[in-house]
C-alpha cells in the first residue's frame, strides 16, 4: 500500500516565462542623443512607441546576442558595428502577460546609417523628450544612456556616433554632446592620442569652411568592433 503525505505540496500549472531581447539604438541629431523607437503592432500596448525587441528564437538564435543582432536587423534594417549587452530586466510586474525577462543591449550608429536603412517606421526621439513608454523601457533607456556616458569618459565609444570620416573638432563635439559638458581642447587631443584609435586620411581635408581646412580622420580597422580604453576619465578639468 502506498501512503500519501497529507502535507505534500500540490503542483500548480505555471505559465511559461516570456524571454525577449530589447535594443537601445542611440544616435546623435542636432547635438542631442536620440533613441530609435517603433510603434508596437500588437497587444499589449498596440500602437505605442517602444524599443525594437522580440522573442528569443530557440531554434534559430545561438545565444541572446545572436537574437539581439537578428532583432535589430529585422526591425530596423541596421547591422551595428558595436553592440554591447546592457543588463537583464525581469519580474512579474514588467509585462501584463506574465513573468518576463529581457536581455537588453545598446548600440550606437551615426544618424545617416539610420536614414540609409530607409525604414519610415523607425522614429527617433530625443532622450529628454521620452514620455509614456510601455513596460520598463524608460528605465532600460535611462540605464543605457548612463552606461554610454560613463563609458565615454574613458573609452573610444563615442566614435561610433561619427561617420566614416570626421575631423577632431567634430569628434570632440560628439564627446561633449554625450558627456554634457565642454572639454578642454588640449586635454581632448591628449586623450585621443592615448586611445590611439585614429588614422589621418591622406589628402582629405574638411571643405567649405572659412577657417583653415581641418584634417579628416577615420577609425583604425582594428577598432571597428572593439573599444580602446584609457586609465583616466576625460572631463573638462583633466
Q: Give the tens place of pLDDT for each residue, 97-129.
A: 999 999 999 999 999 999 999 999 999 999 999
Task: At 92, give phi and psi (nearest 5°).
Answer: -80, -30
Distance between CA atoms of residues 100 and 117, nearest Å: 31
The answer, yes or no, to whether residue 6 has pLDDT greater than 80, is no
The overall average pLDDT reported for the chain is 91
Q: Mean pLDDT throughout 133-149?
A: 98
Q: Is the pLDDT of residue 89 over 70?
A: yes
> What are the angstrom distances between the C-alpha of 133 and each of 12, 39, 88?
33, 10, 18
Asked if the peptide bond before residue 44 counts as cis, ω within 30 degrees of 0, the response is yes
Helix H segments across the chain? 64-76, 111-117, 137-152, 168-179, 185-195
Q: How many angstroms from the chain centroid is the CA of residue 182? A: 23
Cα(147)–Cα(106) distance, rounded to whole angstroms?
9
Label the pairing between strands 215-219 and 53-55: unpaired
Residue ranges per domain, the chain?
Answer: 13-151, 154-219
| CATH class of the domain defined by 13-151 | alpha beta
- The residue length of the chain stands at 238
What value does the mean pLDDT take over residues 129-155? 97
Give percent above pLDDT 90 in the chain.
83
* Predicted confidence (pLDDT) per residue in 14-57, tens digit: 678 999 999 999 999 999 999 999 999 999 999 999 999 999 99
The pLDDT, as a whole number, for residue 115 is 95
User: 10 Å Cβ neighbour count for 154?
Assistant: 19
Sign of the Cα torsion 122, 225, 227, 137 reads: positive
Checking DSSP bridges between strand 49-50 and strand 53-55, what pairing results, if any?
Answer: unpaired
Task: Tell me whether the CATH fold assigned to 13-151 matches the one assigned to 154-219.
Answer: no
For the domain bounded by 154-219, which CATH number is listed?
Answer: 1.10.10.10
Report percent pLDDT > 70 for the chain.
Answer: 91
Pair 25, 76: CB distance under 8 Å: yes
Q: What angle do CA 95, 100, 104 make, to 5 degrees?
A: 100
Look at residue 209 in the predicted model and tell me its pLDDT.
65
Which pLDDT belongs to residue 10?
Answer: 42
Rg, C-alpha atoms of the chain = 22
Cell numbers placing 197: 584609435
Amino acid at each position: 500500500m502506498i501512503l500519501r503525505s497529507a502535507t505534500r505540496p500540490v503542483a500548480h500549472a505555471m505559465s511559461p516565462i516570456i524571454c525577449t531581447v530589447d535594443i537601445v539604438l542611440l544616435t546623435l541629431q542636432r547635438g542631442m542623443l536620440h533613441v530609435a523607437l517603433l510603434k508596437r503592432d500588437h497587444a499589449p500596448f498596440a500602437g505605442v512607441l517602444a524599443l525594437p525587441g522580440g522573442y528569443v528564437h530557440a531554434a534559430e538564435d545561438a545565444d541572446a546576442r545572436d537574437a539581439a543582432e537578428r532583432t535589430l536587423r529585422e526591425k530596423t534594417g541596421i547591422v551595428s558595428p558595436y553592440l554591447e549587452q546592457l543588463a537583464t530586466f525581469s519580474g512579474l510586474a514588467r509585462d501584463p502577460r506574465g513573468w518576463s525577462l529581457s536581455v537588453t543591449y545598446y548600440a550606437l550608429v551615426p544618424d545617416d546609417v539610420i536614414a540609409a536603412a530607409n525604414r519610415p517606421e523607425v522614429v527617433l526621439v530625443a532622450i529628454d523628450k521620452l514620455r509614456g513608454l510601455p513596460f520598463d523601457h524608460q528605465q532600460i533607456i535611462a540605464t543605457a544612456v548612463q552606461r554610454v556616458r560613463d563609458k565615454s569618459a574613458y573609452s573610444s565609444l563615442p566614435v561610433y556616433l561619427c561617420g566614416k570620416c570626421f575631423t577632431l573638432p567634430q569628434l570632440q563635439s560628439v564627446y561633449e554632446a554625450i558627456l554634457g559638458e565642454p572639454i578642454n581642447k588640449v586635454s581632448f587631443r591628449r586623450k585621443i592620442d592615448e586611445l590611439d584609435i585614429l588614422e589621418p586620411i591622406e589628402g582629405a581635408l574638411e571643405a567649405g569652411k572659412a577657417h583653415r581646412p581641418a584634417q579628416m580622420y577615420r577609425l583604425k580597422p582594428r577598432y571597428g568592433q572593439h573599444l580602446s580604453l584609457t586609465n583616466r576619465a576625460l572631463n573638462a578639468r583633466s
